[in-house]
Chain A
Amino acid sequence: MSYKLTDYRGSRPTWCPGCGHFAVLGCLQQAAYQLGLPPESMVVVSGIGCSGKISQHFNSYGFHSLHGRSIPVATGIQISNPNLTVIAAGGDGDGYGIGLNHFIHAARRNVNITYIVMDNHIYSLTTGQYSPTSRKGFVSKTTPKGSAEMHLRPLEIALAAGASFVAQGFSGDVKQLTNLIKAAIEHKGFSHINVFSPCVTFNKINTFDWFRERIINLDQQEDYQPSDRLQALAKVMEADGVLTGIIYQEERKLFHNEIAGVKDQALTETPPALTQEQFEQLTAQYC
């Protein structure tokens, strides 16, 4: 059975007109549509913030969880039922501030989820405070004299943490972003996509134009091979993190199959009740 693009449409978005997140939602819908994924086979897990609303605007199973906690919820879902396509999504504050450690651990474990971060370099739903990805000197409500902190570099962290798929997209390039999301979903393992998704209300510095002027598009560099982690790291650092495309990809064993248990099997597949024989074998171990 094939699906229509509108099958992936959830509630009407409440983002500000012009918000970069519309493009992320649209590209996720396009990707699911192009891949022909049944909505009931997908779970979109989000954190809290403007970005967190994406689970409600996308029609599939969804879990709008806690601030910074989309990844552990998504991990529990994915391990429990590997037949599902699990997308975790959030913002830069959600994923790189309060929830950063989960990102690192999911990357090194190679949990089979796609993690989309809508990175606008600012906390927006709380009306404009600097975020971990805000550049030094960034003026916001909590940094009236400019941020004192060096910005966090998500791609370098993803690469160092062992993510098996690392990409970066831009809300201003929906064709590329759709392809990146498709590739990430199809990739077996932890796929990280950082998306420059400008906030048009509170961030007057890192605007669509700001990104457009600076982005280096790897799709236009035919000689770039995303199979070498060291080279990928060098590429990211050379571009000061402002580049788009698939930065790194490798095949690596999946977490849910590496831990003890039956491979690729939903945990609901075995009956939850023990048989009397199983039960008695267990009690006998204590006698």
Chain B
Amino acid sequence: MSDVILELKNLQKWFPVRRNMTQVLKGERNWVKAVDGISLKINRGEIFGLIGESGCGKTTTGKLIMKLLEPTAGQMIFKGKDVTYLDKEALSEHKRNVQMIFQDPYASMNPRFKAREVLTEPLLIHDIGGSRTARGEMAAKALEEVKLTPPEEFLDRYAHMLSGGQRQRIATARTLILSPSFIVADEPVSMIDLSTRAEILQMMKDVQKDLGLTYLYITHDLSTARYFTDRIAVMYLGKIVEMGSVDEVVDNTKHPYTKALISAVCEPVSGKVNKMKEIPIKGEIPSAADIPPGCRFHPRCIYAESECWEKEEPELEEVEAGHLVACRRYKEIT
């Protein structure tokens, strides 16, 4: 039984919406509820996927975990300690332990920095290494870890002199150099060519095994998630609707939204050209400033009944071993 490295309890992040004069005078306040109370547990050494479409709150969750944003409510427990609100020193330590790989490998590195400077910057910030030589050695080691060898070849290059895959390796090396325990990867391969994607993912998996890391893998691409992750949580409009091992969630889907997502995914197989895709979903995603009452998915759900919008929002419940769903009617839908 592996222990839990990160636990989120009803984590919330609401952004205030700009008000006009009448609203200010009336005392009304509107919120964009980007993350509206999510709870999950991530075990040490696993790859946990956070799936959802744009606007569902997955990137915001990642930033909350990184402490680039402060939560509006809820709790975050990392390695057994409550890290919801941290003072400067504890924050610094937290940021050493939790690192991020960004989506755009080119934009995430200062274009005026050589690879060497990109890699040694975390060391300088946290005052590790002591001398230029020592830091250079640590940078070289990090490059070896991500299989960019020989390191000397790459240390003096700028970002625009490297391919997308190489840049993402350097970004990964940068996260590793502080020996973190937890890495948040936000769509790390979506901007990389298909033929290189697998290579980068393989590298990330190798690194994980070597160093015993835990990943939070944020993506909208279910197919890649299937390949890469161990467990996933599907988010919709700021809440988790389904959570479990990736095989369970994909093969034994319970939530209507997850069903819709899965049916919408394209597969590279023949014979589908002349068929229309059946997507069991209605309408459009509502704004996060205007969340529907009851089950927030009900306006788009083809199985919705009156209880879905009259009663209060369904909680995430464990319906099978390790498989959680937030839906009242999951049993009745196929």
Q: Do A and B interact with each other, yes or no?
A: no
